[in-house]
Amino acid sequence: MSTYVLWDIDGTLIYNGPKAGTLYLDSIEQITGIRPTVRVPDPHGMTEGQLITAILEVNNIDASHLPAVYTRLEELSHAEHQAGVLRDRCVGVDVALAAVAERGWSNALLTGNGSVRARLKVLAAGIDADVFDWEHSFFGHESPTRHHLTATAREKLAGVDAVIIGDTPKDGEAADSAGIPFIAVATGAFRADELRQTSALVVIDDFSTGLDAVLDAIASLPVSR
């Protein structure tokens, strides 16, 4: 029985871009005619459904626009991808993904993105989408919170070993709530010392220096029966 290594995307597999939130604002403006001006405090670790709802609410825009805004977000993401926009994968990620597969574990995704945007992002970063088990990946575009997302993953992977790799304290809190072990990497918005305040089995600066510690932590997980 395989161990599922559930990867977050933004800040974990690929670096957060300087214009990471622009497509959200564009999508909302194109659907509602209003461009949000009020920022959501601490958006890191939110699911896309959660983040879009929060942006709408803090800007006093009817949250019922969420489905239409998300559809437009996917359309703009496709257009961006077709225009050749590239993303930067985090240092050491290629070797880390290969090392997980070499040990017979399964690479999968647990991300606040929807499956379409998740695929476009990894492709734009030059990561082979086929390294992931998409059938056993989990996408948060319709999840109201990350806790809901991880609870869904735990239910679907009942009796199977899993570990979440992420870059935010919210990733760790959600992993805790679902009873899934958490590993933290400081390639996102949070420093390693901040991530050490979570329940993470191990905290690394990046996969170029911390891969062995991550692999050892996964190998040490108790085997589900």
| Per-residue model confidence (pLDDT) at position 224 | 54
| Per-residue model confidence (pLDDT) at position 225 | 38
| Per-residue model confidence (pLDDT) at position 215 | 98
What is the block-wise mean pLDDT of the chain (225 residues), using blocks of 10 residues? 92 88 95 97 91 97 96 96 96 98 97 96 97 96 91 95 97 96 97 97 98 97 65
* Three-state secondary structure readout of the chain: CCCEEEECCECCCECCCCCCCHHHHHHHHHHHCCCCCCCCCCCCCCCHHHHHHHHHHHCCCCHHHHHHHHHHHHHHHHHHHHCCCCCCECCCHHHHHHHHHHCCCEEEEEECCCHHHHHHHHHHCCCCHHHCCHHHCEECCCCCCHHHHHHHHHHHCCCCCEEEEECCHHHHHHHHHHCCCEEEECCCCCCHHHHCCCCCCCEECCHHHHHHHHHHHHHCCCCCC
pTM value is: 0.94
